[in-house]
Amino acid sequence: MKRITIYDVAKEADVSLATVSRVINDSSVVREDTRIRVQQAIEKLGYKPNAIAQGLALSKTTTISIVMSEKLFGYNGKILNGLMDVAKIYNYNIMFHTTSRGITRMQDVIESIIKTRTDGVILFNDNFSEDELEVLQEYQIPMVVVGSKIGDTKLENVGNTYVDFEKMAYDLVNSYFEKGVEDITLLEDRLNASMLAELKKGVDKAFAERGKVFTQYVPYDESFKSSYVFLTEHFKKHAPSKLVIASRDSQAYAVLNACQEAGYKIPEDIELVCVNNNKYLTMTKPHISAYNIPEYDIGAVSMRLLTKMLVHDPSIKDNISIEMGYSFIPRGTTK
């Protein structure tokens, strides 16, 4: 028998998750007709809200939850180290929650966070909707979102430590425009959709400012076993662009190998830039140009921000959105 969740109640009552949460917690800000509709949905579905309601954090537990997608675990090791080191300094325990498509849903993680009375939450960008953030907000749980810049939100007590990937892509594309290169490709990356969305915004903006439309966005075909196999077939039908932008190392390797096997020279015929740098990008021939992103610092700053939010530190009252810097590392795949 399917377990009924707060999501099911929200869908049945045609309201937001936060509205269901407010009814469960007997909030006075809910209209009476809406309250009745939610209560009727709860009764109809047989939802048992008491377990969550009892988890309302009335006392501190010195526990911080970190929520990230299982598929990104291998790419965020340095950020996690930064998070853990600062949490240890301030004597916070860490509870990890991973989401997996078809296995662990975000809604299950939210219920677990509330039940275990977590003091605060670190969220990696690709794990949530604003509606889900609002549910945690109802339980007065401070949050810091790590990774890409989040859009304008009406929610309070939500911090953000981010790299401006939109500006990164915008500046990169403009630098190639200045060299006379307009044939540019951005590869889709389904592992980090929020970062990719920001990168594409930057590329689109750069093209639009010159009265052009960016058309060389290459979506990944999941019918192929790997990006290498996909790109090998793709380049048989479509010549690679003068500049190819990849999000992570495996994509960059795939571009490098597929282009070389198709008879193209790098960087003479095609230039390649990988957004996320790591040590393996210098183990190829040629070495792959990339961006140095201060991953450990992102983790450390994020956790320190959250610890300040937990004690209502006045120094961060108007500064809970922190932009982290980055620098370009030119190597053998760019001229």
If asked whether residues 240 and 306 sit together in one domain, one would say: no
Question: What's the one-letter identity of residue 218?
Answer: V
pLDDT one-digit tens code per residue, 12-26? 889 887 788 778 777
- Could you tell me if residue 202 is inside a domain? yes
Q: Could you tell me the pTM of the whole model?
A: 0.80
pLDDT at 103: 54
If asked whether residues 306 and 157 sit together in one domain, one would say: yes
Residue 275 near residue 245, CB atoms below 8 Å:
yes
Mark 124-157 as b/e (b = at least 16 C-beta within 10 Å): bbbbbebebbbbbbbbebbbbbbbbbbeeeeeeb
- Could you tell me if residue 14 is inside a domain? yes
If asked whether residues 171 and 269 sit together in one domain, one would say: yes
If asked whether residues 121 and 189 sit together in one domain, one would say: no
If asked whether residues 159 and 302 sit together in one domain, one would say: yes
Q: What is the largest CA-CA distance in the chain?
A: 69
CATH of the domain at 24: 1.10.260.40
- Could you tell me if residue 10 is inside a domain? yes
φ/ψ of 33, rounded to 5, equals -65, -35
d(CA 233, CA 238) in angstroms, rounded, equals 9
pLDDT at 69: 83
Q: In what helix (H) or strand (E) does residue 48 lie, and over which residues does it extend?
A: none
- Could you tell me if residue 259 is inside a domain? yes
pLDDT at 306: 95
If asked whether residues 209 and 282 sit together in one domain, one would say: yes
Residue 265 near residue 292, CB atoms below 8 Å:
no
If asked whether residues 216 and 290 sit together in one domain, one would say: yes
If asked whether residues 177 and 289 sit together in one domain, one would say: yes
- Could you tell me if residue 278 is inside a domain? yes
If asked whether residues 135 and 119 sit together in one domain, one would say: yes
* Number of structural domains found in the chain: 3
Helices (H) and strands (E) in the chain, counts: 12, 12
CATH of the domain at 71: 3.40.50.2300
pLDDT at 58: 47
- Could you tell me if residue 333 is inside a domain? no
Domain that holds residue 48: 6-53
Residue 52 near residue 114, CB atoms below 8 Å:
yes
pLDDT one-digit tens code per residue, 100-111? 765 556 777 887
Nearest to 276 by CA among 253, 248, 295, 298: 248
If asked whether residues 203 and 278 sit together in one domain, one would say: yes
- Could you tell me if residue 261 is inside a domain? yes
Query: What residues of the chain score a pLDDT lower than 70?
Result: 1-3, 28, 49-60, 101-105, 126-130, 153-154
Concatenating the DSSP letter of every residue in 115-147 gives HTT-SEEEEEGGG--HHHHHHHHHTT--EEEEE
- Tell me the two tokens of residue 243: 């500049």
If asked whether residues 307 and 158 sit together in one domain, one would say: yes
Nearest to 325 by CA among 165, 199, 191: 165
If asked whether residues 28 and 141 sit together in one domain, one would say: no
pLDDT at 191: 81
The 10 Å Cβ neighbour count of residue 198 is: 23
- Could you tell me if residue 206 is inside a domain? yes
- Tell me the two tokens of residue 34: 């809406």
Question: What's the one-letter identity of residue 329?
Answer: I
